[in-house]
Structure 1
Amino acid sequence: MSDKATDEARMAHALRLAARGLGNVWPNPAVGCVILQGDRVVGRGWTQPGGRPHAERRALDQAGAAARGATAFVTLEPCAHHGHTPPCAEGLIAAGVARVVTALTDPDPRVAGRGHAMLRAAGIAVTEGVLQAEATRLNAGFLRRVTEGLPFVTLKLATSLDGRIATASGESRWITGAQARTHVHMLRMTHDAVMVGAGTALADDPDLTVRGLGARHQPVRIVLDSRLRLPVGSRLGRSAGDSPVWMVHGPDAPAAARSAWAATGATLIEAEAPGGSLATRPALAALAARGLTRILCEGGGTLAASLLNDRLAGDLALYTAGLALGAEGRAALGALKLARLADAPRLILRESQTLGADSYTLWSLA
């Protein structure tokens, strides 16, 4: 292999390690690190739950003395600031690493090129931008939170062939089969939080946890509920003490409902609600301000349409079943208020697979 191909192969390894942290490390980025002495891997690591130890520290501890003169492949620029742990750039320098290869520059103002500069000042050779597009995709949530103050949102829909999510009476369990539902739980595991609107929460009384996969980590469960209409006797209310529930409400939510939800152990977050309905962008900004980077939205048609209309969803995860429910069924998307075809959201197909009798496609907004 050429030097470029070798660097890309090693960085691909680091990216696979980084992916193990998705959903577990917020507000930190999910980072992977591989340390090579010649062609031999002497250390590898990824960001641990809660965001520390960092990937570089884990890999350096594993490598020990073998890190001297080695090459480190890191999916994000090593940090250069003192936080809960010393800077990873300093750790690489102290270990005697000879070369560092990175995929992305960290946009965090506390880093933003300083890590690379520290390494070069210490005489370490630095190569930047290896598999940059892949690393950007992997850490889209962290990058968006830092640069835009918003989380990366994946909109999940489970529909019939004709784009319906329930019958006219509201029956929706189950449109898709067991394999598709297991895949949804795997998707939940890679996100910091799972979010629904008040309508879905009231109609379905969901649990929103990861089940059947032996998960050690549960995502934050979020309901956008302007007036806190969801009763505390719901499944989310009864289990708020077991895994986190965040209730995003408007300024006019009744004091009695706020007190009742607070008593369950849920976190209450106030956001703008013009006209009595929560504004989606300010609600997402409030969630990002609390550190969330990746949110899986499993809400109904109204919330889905809002996310697409306002270009707030980054991905669309679509599960399609081989049945038809007709025009009387409930639509997967609410009104998009499109006057022209040119105004319709355009998506790029990223992945497709068959899940039993159903299909799964992953789309990104263009």
Structure 2
Amino acid sequence: MEQPQAESPTTRAGATGADATGAERAAMRRALELAARIPPRGPNPRVGCVLLDADGATLAEGFHHGAGTPHAEVEALRAAVGRLGPAAARGATAVVTLEPCNHHGRTGPCVDALLDAGVRRVVHAQHDPNPAASGGAARLRAAGVDVVGGVLTDEARALNDSWTRALELGRPLVTWKVASTLDGRAAAADGTSRWITGRAARHDVHRLRAASDAVMVGTGTALVDDPDLGVRHAPLTGPQPARVVVGLRELPASSRLARAAAAGETVAQLRTHDPHEVLEQLWYQEHRRVLLEGGPALAAAFWRAGLVDEVVAYVAPALLGVGASAVADLGIGTIADAARLDLIDVTVLPQDPADPTDTPTVRLTLRPRKER
């Protein structure tokens, strides 16, 4: 291992993104591009790394391919060694989208790999919010490595937004997907609900599923709608998300979910009505992003527990007048207590021009309003 170097201005904890060079900022943008090649699923963040020589030229690149695989820093170091020999990274600068990890998980600490390779400077974007893995920057500084943090932090956080928020919360991030008519009905008086929204909206739901670690419904929805909950109409990298049913009632062996389980896909029934217990189990199973698809009772239980982090609402230009509500009782008795949300995005999903029976749908993305 290279001996610690004399302290320089960027060795101190006060070094920030303003201390990064133009070449390092350009390398960070490239590292973000590399990290974005992996879909935002699984327990690990998306991370990219670019190694620069003393003149700011690129030596090698790497990115993390998923849980259990080498981290981005190790990928880049191996690429440099393979190209230039064992001492390729000695004196180099590592530009990384996330603070190098400082713990033993499925792989060893990236801090060790960087120190062993003789890297003299590390520039990172986002500080690691994972208490089990953080502390890498401090350890590198203690070893005499120049460390600059906070370079393109907003871009790096946006890349791992769901993962970051889940780590900060200490539980899976929950997105509630709801589909309703203009008057808030999720089904007609006779119980029929297919299809309230248009084809484009239904395909968009598969995009949400593809970006989730688990898709969750209650036993009521599982029994009445017999959903599959798999991804069919959107690109999917890796296995299907876990299908999760919450509640005590048994599912018939003929149901789609039971057949998926028999075929070897991940289907779990969590026999509880406690939303906190549900998320605790899902967190233990390394699910960080959960899509709550229904039904009204389960959605209301998660809302009342304060465990809904985002809402994606598909609203069809249709009226039913009566029928099942999109959400059950929230315990709100007066307008002053109404649950208010902040609107993040509005998108119109158009009608299929080849199908006159299809309907356009408005997709609203919202977040529960924080107390001001």
TM-score bracket for this pair, using the shorter chain length: 0.7 to 0.9
d(CA) in 2 for partners of 1:198 and 1:234? Answer: 12
Query: For 1:18 and 1:101, how far apart are their aligned partners in 2?
Result: 15
Which is further off, 289-298 or 163-172? Answer: 163-172
Matches within 5 A, 1:332-343: 332-343=326-337
- Name the counterpart of 2:364: 361
Residue aligned with 1:298, SS: strand
Report the Cα offset of residue 168 of structure 1: 1.9
* 2:286 paired residue number: 291
**Pick from 45, 48, 53: which aligns with 1:29?**
45
What amino acid sits opposite 2:171 in the alignment?
L
Find the counterpart in structure 1 of residue 71 from structure 2: 54
Taking a change above 3 Å as real, the CA distance of residues 143 and 12 of structure 1, as seen in their structure-2 partners, is same
Matched residue of 1:296: which SS?
strand
CA distance in 2, matches of 1:179, 1:40: 46
Runs of 4+ in 1 over 6 A off after TM superposition: 2-5
User: What is the aligned partner in structure 2 of residue 75 from structure 1?
Assistant: 97
* Distance change (3 Å), C-alpha of 1:108 and 1:358: same
Moved more, 34-43 or 283-292: 34-43
Partner residue, 2:357: none
Q: Distance in 1 between matches of 2:33 and 2:302?
A: 29
Structure 1 unaligned spans of 5+: 251-277
- Which of 131, 141, 145 in structure 2 is aligned with 1:124? 145
Aligned pair partner of 2:225 in 201, 204, 207: 204
| Counterpart AA for 2:364 | T
Bigger Rg over Cα: 2
Q: Percent of aligned pairs with the same residue?
A: 45
Alpha-carbon distance, 1:340 to partner:
4.2
Shift of 1:284: 1.3
Question: Counterparts of 1:242 and 1:196 in 2: how far apart (Å)?
Answer: 19
Partners of 2:66 and 2:90 lie apart in 1 by 28
Q: Judge which range, 191-200 or 349-358, deviates more.
A: 349-358
Shift of residue 60 of structure 1? 3.0
Contact 2:30 2:50 survives alignment (8 Å) = yes
Deviations 1:133-165 (A, max 9, x none): 554555455455555542111111122222222
Question: Is 1:231 equivalent to 2:252 in the alignment?
Answer: yes
Taking a change above 3 Å as real, the CA distance of residues 281 and 57 of structure 1, as seen in their structure-2 partners, is same
Aligned to 2:183: 162
Greater CA deviation, 100-109 or 298-307?
Answer: 100-109
Give distance in 1, aligned partners of 2:94 and 2:364: 35
Residue 128 of structure 1: how far off its partner (Å) = 2.1
- Once residues 21 and 182 of structure 2 are traced to their aligned partners in structure 1, the CA distance between those partners, rounded to angstroms, is 42
Structure 2 stretches lacking a partner, 5+ long? 1-17, 351-359
Partner Cα separation in structure 2 for residue 345 and residue 131 of structure 1: 34
Question: Using the alignment, how far apart are the partners of 2:213 and 2:60 within structure 1?
Answer: 27
Q: Is the 8 A contact 2:49 2:95 kept in 1?
A: yes
The corresponding residue for 2:271 is 249
More deviation, 141-150/230-239: 141-150
- Matched with 1:306 is 301
Aligned length: 334
Offset at 1:219? Answer: 0.5
SS of the aligned residue for 1:58 comes to: helix
TM-score with structure 1 setting the length? 0.79
Q: For structure 1, which segment, 191-200 or 54-63, has the greater mean C-alpha deviation from structure 2 after superposition?
A: 54-63
Q: Which moved more, 1:3-12 or 1:120-129?
A: 3-12
TM-score by length of 2: 0.78
Secondary structure of residue in 2 paired with 1:292: coil
